[in-house]
Amino acid sequence: MDDASSLAAWASLLADRTRAAFCLALMDGRAWTVGELARHAGVALSTASEHADRLVAGGLLTQHRQGRHRYLSLAGPGVATLIETVTATTEHTPAPVRGLAAATRRRNLAYARTCYDHLAGAVGVALADGMTTTGLLSRDNGLSLTDAGRALLDGLGIVLSPRGRRPLLRDCLDWTERRPHLAGITGAAILQHALSATWLIRAGSGRALRLTEAGSHAFTEHFGAALGPAAPIPQPLRA
């Protein structure tokens, strides 16, 4: 199979609303059962299983079994990057919001959410902007941590552990803000620390995150993030 055929085959996996819904749901960085994905996409379990098999065979998802359950997750940060980038660069008109719960859910996803294993939304973009403005990041020769940035992360106990060929730091185009937030090893480490320190807490079972009072103070004091008003507390719905 040549490169063009390979690319077309990969793209065809996402050219289905159900499979696309599965991949977007798994952008919360956690593993879902086939049954959970079926309920999220509004399809029968047998249909969900067929779509899951195609995504696993195509290399977009990985699976593991625990007891009678089959758990699915994105195949890695590279797949998450592709999905977020495609979503951010696709021109689309948001569907009309019907009901308070749907409006609240949309606002919360736009304010703060996981993008696989790093922070996205308005808070994620504010973090990237603040770190640049305060000299913790440099864009002079590509995106990089400055000595001050490394010292700050060390002081906070945020450990940057290289894994494979993953970059230490990179921009990820945010699909709601249409501006970059931070990904790579550094972005993942900051999000993990923020969750452990309860600066951010998961809002329900989906991708949305809630910024706590301690988190608002920490993001501003440590990273210089200019944070706008927090969104309402999300409804417990899947992202």
Query: For residue range 123-182, what is the model confidence (pLDDT) as tens digits?
Result: 999 999 999 999 999 998 889 999 999 999 999 999 998 777 788 999 988 888 889 999
Question: Tens of pLDDT along 46-104?
Answer: 999 999 999 999 999 999 988 888 999 999 888 888 888 887 777 555 555 565 565 66
Question: What is the total count of domains within the chain?
Answer: 2
Task: Tell me whether residue 229 is in a domain.
Answer: no
User: Do the beta carbons of residue 84 and residue 175 sit within 8 Å?
Assistant: yes
CA-CA distances (angstroms) from residue 94 to 106, 159, 176, 231? 10, 38, 11, 18
Beta strands in 67-168 (DSSP E): 69-74, 113-115, 118-120, 137-138, 144-145
Q: Under a CB-based contact definition with an 8 Å cutoff, are residues 204 and 237 in contact?
A: yes
User: In this structure, are 54 and 134 located in the same domain?
Assistant: no
Instruction: Report the relative pairing of strands 118-120 and 170-173 from DSSP bridges.
Output: unpaired
Statement to judge: residues 34 and 149 lie in one domain: no
pLDDT at 103: 61
The backbone region for 110, taken as left when phi is positive above 0, alpha when psi lies in -120 to 50, beta otherwise, is: alpha
Residues 118 and 203 in one domain: yes
The pLDDT tens digits of the residues spanning 35-45 come to: 999 999 999 99
106 and 178 housed in the same domain: yes
Same domain, yes or no: 163 and 117: yes
Residues 124 and 192 placed together within one structural domain of the fold:
yes
The phi-psi region of residue 203 (left if phi > 0; otherwise alpha if psi is between -120 and 50; otherwise beta) is beta
Lookup result for tokens 């819904």: 21
Residue 8 domain-assigned (yes or no): yes
How many angstroms separate the CA atoms of 18 and 5, rounded?
Answer: 23
Q: Write out the residue range of the structural domain in which residue 38 sits.
A: 3-75
Q: Evaluate if residue 234 carries a pLDDT over 50.
A: no
Q: Do 187 and 106 share a structural domain?
A: yes
Identify the bridge partners of residue 69 per DSSP, sorted by sequence position: 66
- pLDDT surpassing 70 at residue 198: yes
Alpha helix positions (H), 42-120: 45-57, 77-89, 100-111
Structure tokens at 34: 């086939």
pLDDT-derived band at 238, boundaries 50, 70, 90: very low
> Which residue, 75, 90, 124, sits at the end of a domain?
75
Residue 19 falls inside a structural domain: yes
Its pTM stands at 0.74
Query: What pLDDT is recorded for position 177?
Result: 87
